[in-house]
Structure 1
Amino acid sequence: MNRPSHRTHRLAIIGGGPRATYALERLSATIGRLEPGTKLHIQVYERTGEFGAGTAHSPSQPRSSYLNRISCEVGFAADESSIGAGPLRNPADRPTLYDWCRSQFALTGETDFDVKPNSWPKRYVHGLALTDMCATYIAELRAHPDVEVSLEARDVVGIREISGSDDERHGPLEVITADGQSSQADHILMITGHTAHDPRRSPVHGPLFDSAAHNGGTYIPYVYPLDKSLPQATTGPEMTVGCAGTGLTAIDAILHLTEGRGGTFVTSPIGDLVYEPSGDEPSSIVAFSNSGLFTFARPTNNKAVDPARLEHRGVFLSHGTVDALRTIHGTRGGSLGGPVRRQLDFERHLLPVIVLEMAYLHYRALFGAEAAEWLAGLAMPDFRRFLAGHHHGEGPEALLAPLLAGADLLVTTLETMLVQGRAVDHVEASMPSPKGLVRHWIGVVFGPEAQEQVRLLAESPAALVKACASWTSPWALDETPAGNRFSWKRTLTPLGISTAMSPGDYREAVLDMMRRDHLWALQGNIDNPHKAAADGVWRDLREVICYAVDDAGLTPHAQRTFAERYVRHHNRLANGAGLEVMERIRALIRHGLLDISVGPGATVRGDGSGGFTIEGPLTGTSRRVDVLADARLHTFDPYQDASPLYRDLLSAGICRQWRNEDADGNYYVPGGLELTAEFQPVRADGGSEPRITVLGPAARGHRTFLMDALKPGRDHYVMRDIGTWARTLWHHLAHPRKPDQQGLDRIGIGVG
């Protein structure tokens, strides 16, 4: 077919945040694929006008918000690990956030740029880097004679098929903005990121919003952007602010209302962080959530120096294990337009393996690699029988008995040598060396200085017992051989509270738990047993969990349970804020400005006078607040979204929601859109929509974890997805499809 000599292809990118930066990077790096005679016009829409960063990563956001990823683990471009990405930039032209900050510090001397590879940077710094890198990629594209890039600081509210066209289903689309402007696009990349719910459309927010509207109160349904949603006029002195949430979003809001108002954190003579108020803060911030706990502190990442060697590879939890579980335990699921999948139950089939892997890692850190391999050997027969379909009890700890029995034998060895002062000369040939076990355990519990003394005391059992009794764990670990046991129940409920308690007692219990957790975080994600178990499974093996869960890998009921319960556990265990940030939260609780006295399971209601009442069933506390702010990240739901964009697409039949369905017709609709393997929407009639690509939170349901910061050196899924889109786009430009070539591939969209 003869193509026009000057064909213009119009690409619209809706959403100008981090994914737009990565998309523009791939376009500029692969622009050599633009065929002669073809012009490319790119329009990037970002309603905030902050191209490259967007709202969540805005360079203009308060300086009190931090990333929850260290600087060397944030990138901006494809690298050698990005399989199939195409041409790569020179290493010097694809810095990590750490590299970018060092170059900026050399130029400006600004202390916020003076970071180390394992530093937790401020989020606005990431926004500055994203803006800078995005501008670089745009400049490269504009330097090409056949490329035009337009930046549109407008909010896209609709996409329409152009009616009356002879090729309505396959011609250009019309992009409509809130100010009434419109333009045509041949392809659209939708990367709108996390968006807020409209409280009038939400069963959660609606009653609270109505109460505030009817009684003259202040209800804030979404805290971002912080400076606009939480102005001093409504959240200043003399005001009590209720904060619904205790996760990362709530932490951002709390620090904005305190440190962001001029308060400072100073170190006391005894080493504690102390908050000194400015007087511009609210009189009190009442934080509450279902758990009543803030996230655990992210540990020092001692794996960052050599992730390929130090990041954990599953012993029990692996892709092969998931396949075996699916073969033996899986039940027939829906087809999703492709081959029928066998679905698993998360709590019955996957959770016991996850907990076993955590226990293995816990005891590997506590007892050493030699002991861990011995324990794994004890656990393996029951584990293999479980994979073969032979059940071994109920509950998440169903596979732990052999491993825990082995741990008891190791504890007996430690007690014999360190408490009773007797030598252990005879052990089974397969058991770890008693001397090596003792030396490792002492190093973990008491530190390297104590570990070095073991060598000197080895010939005097009595002296070793005396020394061990005198040492104190710098990490607040239990100092007895029988302590530091792995417990899944205690991992989920670290306070161990079973009966009602006073608000003051609850506060002290939380502070003590946070003190221990922060010392564990300081010890790091390799040496501390508790942090090693959580980090090694819920971070290092997150891709395996996604392999099991995503693309209808679970039954509808199990996926709902996972989404509503275990994603929260993941966030608290392994996706919390850095230690520096969590020490600030702890200091605010100690100061008393941050009030957590309502405890877990709190409920909130409008009080009829413009305020709100928060009640805690465990502590019996009832707190009235003047202002209520929802400080939780809203999950994607087109029917609750504040923007009409996705509702417009659904009503036009251009897309439909994804649903997980089993063979009996039971189903679960998480909220996201149904997409093909190339991330193109599936239309209401079941056909694909190749003119649109959707990435990010709008894929909720297909995908579980949808973070948007690119991690270098990991073949990170964010860049894999961008690479898939870029390859599909270039292929379409070189080989435009005819209507009868529109295939539908709904087998799945990969691992999150």
Structure 2
Amino acid sequence: MRPIRLAVIGAGPSCTYVLDRLAATARTAGGPVPLDVHVFDRTGEFGAGRVHSAGQPVTSVLNRIAGQVAFAADESVVGAGALLPGEERPTLHQWCRARHAETGEPEFDLTAEDSPKRYVHGLALADRFRRYAALLSEVPGVRVRLRHQEVADLEELPDGRLGVTGTRGERLLDADHVLLLTGHSSNDPSRYPKQAGWARFAESRAVVFVPFAYPLQDAFAPGQAGPGTTVGCAGTGLTAIDIVLHLTEGRGGTFTRQPDGTLAYRASGREPDSIVPFSGSGLFTFTRPFNAKERDTGSLEHRGVFLTEEAVLRLRRSAGRPPVTICGREQRQLDFRDHVLPLVVLEMALVYYTTLLGPGFGHRLAAAVRPVHEAFLADGGAGAPSEVSVRRLLAPLEELCDRAADTVDAVLAGGLALAEAERREPGTRAAVLRFVEVVFGEHLAGGIVARAGDAPAFADAVAAGESPWRHPKTVSGQRFSWERLIRPIDVASATGPQEYRAAMLDFLDLDQRWASQGNLANPAKAAADSVWRDLRSVLAHAVDFGGLHAASHRDFLDVYMRHLNRLVNGSALGVMEKLGALVRHGIVDVSAGPRADVRPDEHSGRFVVHGGVTGAVLPVDVLVDARVHPFDAEKDVLALYPNLLRRGLVRTWRNPGTDGPDFAPGGLDLTEEFHPVRGDGRTDRRLTVLGWPSEGVMFFQYGALRPQQNHHIMRDILQWMGEFWEHVAGAAAAGGPVSQHGG
């Protein structure tokens, strides 16, 4: 019989994970498996793909620790089925340790909590890809072909298969099933008015516009962005940080540790004169904290108390809009700002104070809040705006914190003996001891706590102690504030370029200190990490498949996804220390501040960055769009998705606006099984799309696979694979492939 032909388009990390699952399950078949797997990748970097290339600059660092990156399914993945032997599915940390033992190269000498270079991740992906492809090829009846070719189109064939077509229109394969794993791409700048204007200006002037930074090693032509030039980065996220390090450390600059513990930068002379990152927020992504949860993620990662899937379901019933049909099912839509955000803020406050004053105090807080939480779920906020609902939910929590602050601060100041405070308010002793440990650290706290029986001596010890993390020494000085967490620089007192620069340096220092304290001991980092990372699946439950009405969905992506990325998706401590050193050195100019934008200046022939708050005016010679482009099937620079749209094989997803315009985030219209909905409304089961193109109808569908997490990326792959193997089995029973054309 003719084997099933599977075309996998895109050979990045997701393809590596797919090959693990195919190899592990095919090896248990007990006989020949009639399967031809054709893996297409336009870069030829099988396993890593362009974004994770092993050839990328050595200055780029993965924003995930080595112990939290996997390449294959493990025992935690529900329904995974057969697993490869343990030695075939190392974590990135284990892979690096083995490679270090073989080579002695320092790049591989990592602990589980270290953030590796991104090219190291690329090397590991390529290695695991080769191994899993080889294991799959060993199965009788299976053939795996790696094809360094770009797929530009798919076309319907008379026999029900899909013709896989190259860039010159040549037929590359007749496929029974196509799995699209295309990952990150970029969008055509001519399709965006602002970027198109920048490009036109650069064409007629002696300035440069770089529409997309990756691959970073190819972003700048020889002689560009060198001495005598100023580089502007439109964006202050991870991409901008990559660019900054590439143009400084990557040009031969070095960092040295000073006697005071800070880093200092020594220029090589090959850098640009200045680099100007700018954005609406004026903030870099915050420093990723030391991940103390790595030692036991199963027990240490946070589980929601108030922000839960059940809470989201109850809000849909009490406050959801009248049902609309979305993705083939009825959905009562919520407003993220008014319905979900109050629970997010409440959960963050609970984690914050539990971290600051201990689990016993956290339990009392949860009990105090539960009645008002139940009332909020029952009435959905009664139509009140977000800020009113937040105050309503936080009121019993803040009342209890007021009393705790009065008592604990009195003990810390020596005005109330600890024993007497415990007699009046049971649990105070534990709260005081926890607070002292958070403020001073375990080492210093021991000596201070030893004096707790003598009120004056205890107060003197607290007053004399210095917090390594610059924490105030009172509970009243450390009250939770959502606004302060997301806007840590007070722009009212930093309205000039130099004032803002000083405020930014102060915040970078504070943020790095907090990050070093970790995501279990620092209240702010614990609150952000526990809610925006550990409870991401709950957020997805609220957002996915039209969970929010159209206007709120747009608001979520424009506002709250930015908060998420800034709060918890930042760079490692070592990277942010380098960034601080570059700002202190003066080569990185942050004086544009918040509400900054860039305009072409006809008079000077240069781009000019304007600080909306600081008033800074900063001419630049090279302008880089330093943002990761959102997936947009219509505007993609590659031909594949525009062609699929033109043929009607796919369509973009729209969140229907019931009292306003629809919202079309750019991603594809997909079923819950990740099959595309065609232009005519039918589902095409010959096609499956995983990852980046599903952004829009689903939330946060990218990222590296995590070990021991029953991770959503692997669950999505299993969803595809179970259906695919059924098709293979059906074909075998029928004596050949059967049509999968959807209905």
TM-score normalised according to structure 2 size: 0.95
How far is 1:47 from its partner?
A: 1.2
Cα deviation for residue 427 of structure 1 reads 6.8
Partner Cα separation in structure 1 for residue 299 and residue 612 of structure 2: 47
Deviation at 1:468, TM superposition (A): 1.1
Query: Aligned partner of 2:274: which letter?
Result: S
Corresponding residue to 2:386 among 395, 398, 404: 395
Alignment root-mean-square deviation, CA: 2.0
Q: Select between 419-428 and 106-115 the one with higher mean Cα deviation.
A: 419-428
Matched with 2:451 is 457
**Partner residue of 2:530?**
536
Aligned mate of 1:514, from 508, 512, 517: 508
Work out which of the residue numbers 257, 281, 303 in structure 1 matches 2:293: 303
Contact kept, 8 Å, 1:156 with 1:178, in 2: the verdict is no
SS of aligned partner of 1:315: coil
Which of residues 716, 721, 729 is equivalent to 1:721? 716
Note the alpha carbon deviations across 1:501-527, whole angstroms, 9 max, x for none.
221110000010111111000011011
Whole-Å Cα distance in 2 between the matches of residues 735 and 41 of structure 1? 16
> 1:328 maps to which residue?
318
Which of 212, 220, 233 is the matching residue for 1:230? 220
Alignment match, 2:704 = 709
Residue 3 of structure 1 corresponds to: none
Cα offsets for 1:464-508 (capped at 9, x unmatched) = 111111111111111233111100110111012136622111000
Instruction: Tell me what 1:614 maps to.
Output: 609
Question: d(CA) in 2 for partners of 1:706 and 1:265?
Answer: 36
Separation in structure 1 between the aligned mates of residue 425 and residue 36 of structure 2, nearest angstrom: 67
Mapped contact 2:66–2:113 kept (Cα < 8 A): yes
- Which of 218, 221, 243 lines up with 2:208 in the alignment? 218
- Given that 2:151 and 2:164 are in contact with CA atoms closer than 8 Å, whether structure 1 keeps it comes out as no
Cα distance in 2 between the residues matched to 1:712 and 1:584: 29
Tell me: CA distance 1:58–1:390, structure 2 relative to 1, closer, same or farther (3 Å): closer
The partner residue of 1:100 within 74, 95, 98 is 95
Partners of 2:686 and 2:729 in 1: how far apart?
15
Matched, 1:155 2:150: yes
How far apart, CA to CA, are the structure 2 residues paired with 1:298 and 1:391? 33
Q: How many residues align?
A: 734
Given candidates 45, 50, 56, the residue that maps to 1:55 is 50
User: Who is 1:747 aligned against?
Assistant: none
* Residues 1:600 and 2:591 are matched in the alignment: no
CA contact (8 A) 2:240 2:626 kept: yes
Partner AA of 2:23 in structure 1: S
Q: Secondary structure at the match of 2:360?
A: helix
Q: Does 1:502 align with 2:496?
A: yes
| Aligned residues of 2:32 and 2:139 also touching (Cα < 8 A) | no
Deviation at 1:263, TM superposition (A): 0.9
**Per-residue deviation, 1:659:** 1.3
Contact in 2 for aligned 1:334/1:660 (Cα 8 Å): no
Letter in 2 for 1:193: G
Contact 2:412 2:474 in 1 (8 A): no
**Inter-CA distance 284–181: structure 2 relative to 1 (3 Å threshold):** farther
Supply the distance in 1 between the matched residues of 2:652 and 2:538 (Cα, whole angstroms).
25
CA deviation profile, 1:107-157 (whole Å, cap 9, x unmatched):
000000000010000000000000000000111122234222222212211
- Distance in 2 (CA, whole Å) between partners of 1:430 and 1:460 is 18
Question: Does the CA-based 8 Å contact 2:154-2:162 persist in structure 1?
Answer: no
Mapped partners of 1:499, 1:458: distance in 2? 39
- Larger mean CA deviation between 213-222 and 586-595 belongs to 213-222
In 2, Cα distance between equivalents of 1:63 and 1:619: 34
Change in 2 beyond 3 A, CA 1:100/1:178: farther
> C-alpha separation between the residues in 1 aligned to 2:589 and 2:51?
26
Residue 171 of structure 1: how far off its partner (Å): 2.6
Offset of residue 207 of structure 1: 1.0
TM-score, structure 1 normalization: 0.94
2:725 alignment partner, one of 730, 733, 749: 730
Distance in 1 between the 2:29 and 2:681 partners? 31
Residue 750 of structure 1: aligned partner:
none
Which has more helix, going by share of residues?
2
**CA deviations over 1:154-211 (Å, ceiling 9, x no partner):** 221111113xx2x4xx233333235845322111111111101111122341111111
Quick check: 2:594–2:613 contact (8 Å CA) kept in 1?
Answer: yes
Equivalence for 2:73: 78
- Contact conserved, 1:201 with 1:640, CA < 8 A, in 2? yes
Query: 1:432 Cα shift?
Result: 4.4
Secondary structure at the aligned position of 1:11 is classed as strand
**Residue 439, structure 1, aligned to residue 439, structure 2:** no
Bigger CA drift: 136-145 or 354-363?
136-145
CA distance in 1 between counterparts of 2:380 and 2:129 reads 54
Are residues 38 and 143 of structure 1, via their aligned partners in 2, closer, same or farther at CA, if it must alter by over 3 Å? closer
- Residue in 2 that maps onto 1:347: 337
Aligned amino acid, residue 188 of structure 2: D
The amino acid across from 2:364 in the alignment is: W
Whole-Å separation in 2 of the counterparts to 1:426 and 1:185: 78
Question: In 2, Cα distance between the equivalents of 1:412 and 1:228?
Answer: 59
Task: Look up the SS of the partner of 1:305 in the other structure.
Answer: helix
The residue type paired with residue 586 of structure 1 is G
